[in-house]
Amino acid sequence: MENMLDKLIITALRGKTAAVLFKDGHAAQIDFEPEAAEEETGVIFVGKVKNISKNINAAFVEYRPGVNGFYSLKENARPIYADGKTEHGPLKAGDEILVQVERSAVKTKDAVLTSNLTLTGQTAVLSAGKSSLGISAKIRDKEWRDAVKRRWEATEHGDCGLVVRTNGEAAGIDKVFEEFAALYERYLVICKAAASRTCYNVLYRPESFAVRAVRDLKICDGLEVVTDLPEVYKELQDALGITDSRAAENSGTAADSEATESSAATADSTAVDSAKMACSMAAGMPSLRLYTDDFPLTALYHLETILSQALSKTVWLKSGGNLVIEPTEALTVIDVNTAKSVSKKTSEETYLKTNLEAAGEIAVQLRLRNLSGIMIVDFIDMKEEESRKTLLAALRRAVTADPVKTVLVDMTPLGLVELTRKKIRRPLHEQVR
């Protein structure tokens, strides 16, 4: 693309709403709107304890009529009662408590519920029941971290904890604590609202897929959000706090600029309006455009082709080598091959060159395909220890840029490289089923 500003394209793809992030002109991340059942994750209900199972130290809480969830008594030592009272005896059947869906029901497994409520912003995460402070490991500036700790010690936060997200460093300490204050006020409103609600009422619903897609991005050097879905455009207008006049200014020439651009690549009314998050875009204000040109947005950015390539098990490298990516139930196996690679250099030099190219592409593919868990990479075998060290250093640098925590474990005696990546959402191949 001529314009190298990061772009987030939100459009309909294969019958679902999709968000595709382009960085430096290349697709970096693809996400699809979750299924209805998955959308329950993060929702806060007024639930009723159905029974206590002492042998597994758990309760089963009915959070929707006829639908129970698993509630660990060990992990939830301080239930939040719907009546607002803090003094209660041991949890018992019939008690009404606030529960948040931590993990949606899967096949025969019940949803996992918690009273350790979390509210997520762009720079801060509030955790109820924890008074601790956590700071993203990607923020390494010691002076900045120490300043946050001092600020936290002087902040009124009741029984709530704070996790500073990576975006917090770019936004600044003041913005982080402004957002935390807004989240804390929302938490108090949720707790207060519970007293006037009946069982199974929704007290809080996280932002929509489109809003979360923007919120979760690190916005430092600018971001252009483009959508051809009017309802999404209006929703993002509200969430980003963009006035009609500003939106018109931003989108007035959107169609023309997009057409001439190189073709490369809410809340439930029961309690809180979660779409309008105070300071949710504290790290920077994206520009927003409504695409209205007759030429399809999916075609302009070749989204179908990009998706098909991201679902293919074979990824070709510029050198002629390739990656073969095979996700399984237990782990993901990635095989590196020289394939069509032709080089006049020695075998060791050729193998190192191909492996180094593969290392960079592997980091790209992990994020693009949203692979998580255990990954085993079978690089082309190299005899020299120095070559192996060079390869591991390059791979470690490449995965460090991933916004999702990715750890290079080591190389085994058999020459296999072990990686782990934190699971944030389902892998791409499962999202498009």
- Residues 100-123 have pLDDT tens digits of 999 888 777 889 999 999 999 889
Q: What are phi and psi of 101, to 5 degrees?
A: -75, 110
The pLDDT of residue 345 is 61
pLDDT at 282 over 50: no
Higher per-residue confidence, 225 vs 271: 225
Task: Tell me the average pLDDT of the chain.
Answer: 85
Q: Are 63 and 111 in contact (CB under 8 A)?
A: yes
pLDDT tens-digit map of 66-106 = 999 999 999 998 899 998 777 778 899 999 999 999 988 87
% of the chain at pLDDT higher than 70: 85
Is residue 265 very low, low, confident or very high in pLDDT (cuts 50, 70, 90)? very low
3-state secondary structure of 210: helix
| Residue 270 CB partners (closer than 8 Å, separation 6+) | 193, 197, 201, 202, 203
Using left for φ > 0, alpha for ψ between -120 and 50, and beta otherwise, residue 29 falls in beta
Q: How far apart are the first and last CA of the chain?
A: 30
Instruction: Check residue 124 and report its DSSP letter.
Output: E
Q: What are phi and psi of 396, to 5 degrees?
A: -65, -40
- Residue 217 burial (C-beta neighbours within 10 Å; 0-12, 13-18, 19+): buried
Q: Are 18 and 11 in contact (CB under 8 A)?
A: yes
Closest by alpha carbon to 62, among 106, 96, 109? 96
Is residue 287 very low, low, confident or very high in pLDDT (cuts 50, 70, 90)? confident
pLDDT at 4 over 60: no
Using left for φ > 0, alpha for ψ between -120 and 50, and beta otherwise, residue 269 falls in alpha
Higher per-residue confidence, 129 vs 18: 18
Instruction: Check residue 414 and report its DSSP letter.
Output: T
The answer to pTM > 0.85 is: no
The pLDDT of residue 256 is 43
| Residue 163 CB partners (closer than 8 Å, separation 6+) | 124, 125, 127, 133, 134, 135, 136
The pLDDT of residue 254 is 43
pLDDT tens-digit map of 338-367 = 877 666 566 888 899 999 999 999 999 999
**139: Cα separation from own chain's centroid:** 18
pLDDT tens-digit map of 127-175 = 998 889 999 988 999 999 999 999 999 998 888 999 999 889 988 999 9
What is the spatial distance between Cα 426 and Cα 154, in angstroms, rounded to a whole number?
A: 39
pLDDT tens-digit map of 37-57 = 667 889 999 999 999 999 999
Window from 48-52, 270-274, 299-303, 428-432 with minimum mean pLDDT: 270-274
pLDDT tens-digit map of 373-385 = 999 999 999 989 9
Per the DSSP assignment, residues forming a β-bridge with 16 are 13
The pLDDT of residue 112 is 94
Range with the largest mean pLDDT of 12-16, 262-266, 338-342: 12-16
